[in-house]
Amino acid sequence: MTKRILILIFFLCAGLLFLFYILLRGSRDLFTDPFSVVPDDAPFFIETYNFPALMNSLAENNGLLNDMALLMGAGKFADNFNGMRNYLNKNDLLSILENRRAVLSFHLTGDSKLRPLLVLTIPDKVSKWRIEGYIKNIPGTVTDKVLIGRYRINRTFWKNRRDEYTLFWCYLPGLIIFSNVQELVESAINTGEKEKSMRAFPDVSRLIALSSNREDKIYIIFRNLKPLLALLNGNSSKELAEKLSNMAVSAEGDMFINENGYLFSGFVDNTGQSGSFFKHNQDEVPELSAFRRLPSGCIMIETFLISATISEKFKTNKYGFTGQVTGELLPALDGEFVKAVAELRKDAGKNGHIFVFKLKSRDIAEHVILKNMEEWCRQNNMDEEALTSFFQPDDQIKIPIYVTPFKGMASLLSGSENFVPDSLITFYENYMIASGNLELIERFLYDNILNKTLSTEIEFREFETTLPSRASYFFYCKPSAVIDFLRDYLGDTLTNKLVAGRTILKKISCAGYKYLPGENMIYHMLSVRYGEGIEVETGTEWETKLEGAVISKPFFFTNHNTGAKEIVVQDDRNYLYLINAAGRVLWKIEPGERVNGNFFMIDFYGNNKFQILFASRTTLFLYDRNGNPVERFPVKLRSPASGPPSLFDYDNNLNYRIFIPGEDKYIYAYDKYGNVVKGWKPFRTNGTVKSEIKFFRVSGKDYIVAADDKSIYFLDRTGNIRLKTSVPVTCAAGSEIRFDKLVGNSLVFSAPDGTIQTVSFDGKVSRFSTGKFSTEHFFDLFDIDGDGYGEYIFIDRGKLYLYDNDRSELFIRDFGTEKVLGPMNFIFSATDRKIGIYDYANNMIYLVDRYGNNMKDFPLKGYSKFSLGKFTDKGNYNLIVGGNNNFLYNYKLNKEEKD
């Protein structure tokens, strides 16, 4: 019995050993690493842990892949990509390929085309017969076979409505290899057998070991870029190919794709590349910030830290006077240096350079510049004052700009000997700015004064959040705008392709790159922002950055010192601003409450000096031109206001009266000190007054007119009823009350149903209708043709209606949305008058003439109600309106009509 048990145990062990041998032998033939079959000549490749999901993400999250394929003339590639995606998304294949590691590499084949090679891992339990069965069952496919050594390559055909597709694939234990050319599948098989793959390439294996798990990754092999660049650029820029191939050894980046674009973050292997691009290394990495002071609209930026060893080159006489001054400046520099390219506005189609140096000491830097300018002028018998001009946007700002003899200083500090014009130098706060173009110097100063810098662009701020705050190098560009500037670097062939595809490139709003220092391994990040919407330039004269979005209608306020006009406006953070004609914020205060209705200008002291009067729901405010409260203001109202205030000066003697309707249904009258007017008995209305109270003087009698949702009231100066109408009348909530001399000196307004009503000053009422309107309509009377008689204006459900004073229809204008406000009526001259409309659904503003046509250059972008006026009596008309991203826009108007 014991002998039999021992024999049984012996055979059991032998069987287990034999099974172990079979499994061990089988495992030698099992491929588990997709890198093991990828040929090492790929310029770039992608690693993923879920290939179908990656393909769907590339195709569905945004259209950048397809657009770039079209741009480079690879429309067929995009079709093949989408065809393969649909093919692999079939349910049976998807169940095998999901959540499996894969590598998609790209190779130049014998026909000089860039072709894809896909290597997918599959579970070892999935046999090649099972794979073949899945593929044969896909409708519309035909498969045949080609033998290559001991492996079989399958060729599968399928069609769609436009094209035929061919896919070559091969099953290896644990892997499937796909490509649209047989040559690459054969190369992969041979690579796996000869063990000459990407896995064996040490420059890649180092990055693979560092990279994170489970993220999609892209790898770049710089030595393999030369032939690809030659293909793209027609061999027209060998220098570029040489520089790029020597830039580094290899690079890796985890890929994150969303509807806003692509983000790549990972490592660069810089082993042995002493002359590498990645040379701006520092032991301590600060947060780069100087580039944020650049004027908005820069198309390319490069910022980095000036090397501490760069001063050695200035000890020689090679760079002459420029080298001497540059060396003296070094101790005053904070180390951060920015060079940027911006489009010139005065010379359309051309670009200029601007350089920004962050300073440790502005005093020392300015002293070095002035001292050496003085010395140079003495040696060359020049007048130093002749080399100084001034930027003076208004009467309070005067910034010197020096025309220096130091040419190429910025280039030296950036480590380049290709000198760029930079002899104009100015200082602003703790920065030194240099350029060869006066426009760019002045734009830098002006945009910083207006707080309209790169850091205030919402697109740039959102983009910057995708990159790390600390870096030793930062590059940024707007691809569509830098094409022509980069022609010398890219060559004509590639540049011409990009120019032809500029519309596609405009969808890439910006791209940026940062890296952190290291010795052989450098951490880097690339962000590419993509969007279908293309932002259009506003065409403003200036744009001023505020703390919040404009909520009030801008108000033209007179500077009593100069006679010029300034702008009063409030934002949604309740800040109140006074802004001068140059767009500079003179002061900003926080009343603590939001303006209710309009601003008013009064002469409180009767000395021809003006103050700003306005009310909130609970308080009456009065500020002088310096932003200081006047006398006992602010003053609390007797009742919270139900409507906006009105200001009257009955006899033009500065004896102001301020009327405000209260939530308690009383109408209150205040004097300019904020006291309740003696002799006025607060009048109680039947309903709640929500509109401005009006004042009219007819035949020597005063009429104070108020309307609620139930009736209209005609009062005298004491608050007693002066007039009663012959029949009850009600004023629509959106109707103005206007004086109309056409119908026997009467008041005209609309009823809630749109009926036009006139009330004469003997109480008689007449009515007529021009059409049917909703209760939400707006109505006004405006003499748009300048003949002395008003026309009837309605706005209802997104349409503007104009009727002549004989009640005939002049036009109906449909704005395509019901979210429009107006009318706002503007008079340029006796015969030139316009109706203003604010489309708050699309943030567009319109000026419409008496025929229903847009004024030239309209519509314009606008985000609030707007005002028109002149900053000076001899100046042009300016339109002031709230802008996007908390800006205030100033448009200079061209008043010629469209045909």
For 760, half-sphere exposure in the C-beta direction (CA atoms, 13 angstrom radius) is: 10
Dist. CA 796–CA 750, nearest whole Å: 13
CB count within 10 Å of CB 109 equals 16
Dist. CA 61–CA 507, nearest whole Å: 14
For residue range 78-87, list pLDDT tens digits in order.
555 666 666 6
Dist. CA 296–CA 345, nearest whole Å: 12
CA gyration radius, the chain: 38
Pair of tokens at residue 723: 């007039």
Cβ(324)–Cβ(313) below 8 Å: no
Lowest mean pLDDT among 120-134, 444-458, 667-681: 120-134
DSSP secondary structure string for all residues of 225-241: HHHHHHHHHTTS-HHHH
Cβ(488)–Cβ(495) below 8 Å: no
Query: How far is CA 725 from each of CA 142, 597, 729, rounded to the nearest angstrom?
Result: 90, 28, 8
Lowest mean pLDDT among 117-121, 195-199, 273-277, 389-393: 273-277
14 — pLDDT class (breaks 50, 70, 90): very low
- 376: which strand partners? none
- 721: which strand partners? 715
pLDDT at position 809 over 60: yes
CB count within 10 Å of CB 64 equals 19
How big is the chain, counted in residues? 899
899 — pLDDT class (breaks 50, 70, 90): very low
Beta-carbon contacts of 403 under 8 Å, excluding residues fewer than 6 positions away, are 387, 388, 389, 423, 424
For residue range 293-336, list pLDDT tens digits in order.
998 778 899 988 876 556 556 555 667 778 888 888 888 988 88
**How much is the pLDDT for 190?**
84
For residue range 661-720, list pLDDT tens digits in order.
999 999 999 999 999 999 999 999 999 999 999 999 998 899 999 999 999 999 999 999
Pair of tokens at residue 749: 């307004």
Dist. CA 128–CA 151, nearest whole Å: 11
For residue range 333-356, list pLDDT tens digits in order.
888 889 999 888 777 678 889 999
Better pLDDT: 737 or 500: 737
Cβ(354)–Cβ(294) below 8 Å: yes
Cβ(572)–Cβ(548) below 8 Å: yes
Dist. CA 377–CA 375, nearest whole Å: 5
Better pLDDT: 665 or 268: 665
Angle at 565 between CA 560 and CA 568, to 5 degrees: 100
Cβ(575)–Cβ(551) below 8 Å: no
Dist. CA 350–CA 328, nearest whole Å: 33
Rama region for 632: left / alpha / beta (φ>0; ψ in -120 to 50; rest): alpha
Give which of 770, 769, 729 is closest to 747, Cα–Cα. Answer: 729
CB count within 10 Å of CB 319 equals 19
- 107: which strand partners? 115
The residue written with tokens 């690493």 in the block is: 33
Q: Give the three-class secondary structure for 130.
A: helix
Tell me whether strands 388-391 and 351-359 are parallel, antiparallel or unpaired: unpaired
**How much is the pLDDT for 556?**
96
Cβ(526)–Cβ(511) below 8 Å: yes
**How much is the pLDDT for 234?**
61
For residue range 359-369, list pLDDT tens digits in order.
999 999 999 99
Cβ(115)–Cβ(81) below 8 Å: no
Q: Give the three-class secondary structure for 82.
A: helix
For residue range 743-763, list pLDDT tens digits in order.
678 999 999 999 999 999 999
**How much is the pLDDT for 15?**
42
89 — pLDDT class (breaks 50, 70, 90): low
**How much is the pLDDT for 409?**
83
Output DSSP code: residue 590.
-
Dist. CA 789–CA 811, nearest whole Å: 17
17 — pLDDT class (breaks 50, 70, 90): very low
147 — pLDDT class (breaks 50, 70, 90): low
The mean predicted confidence, pLDDT, of the chain is 84
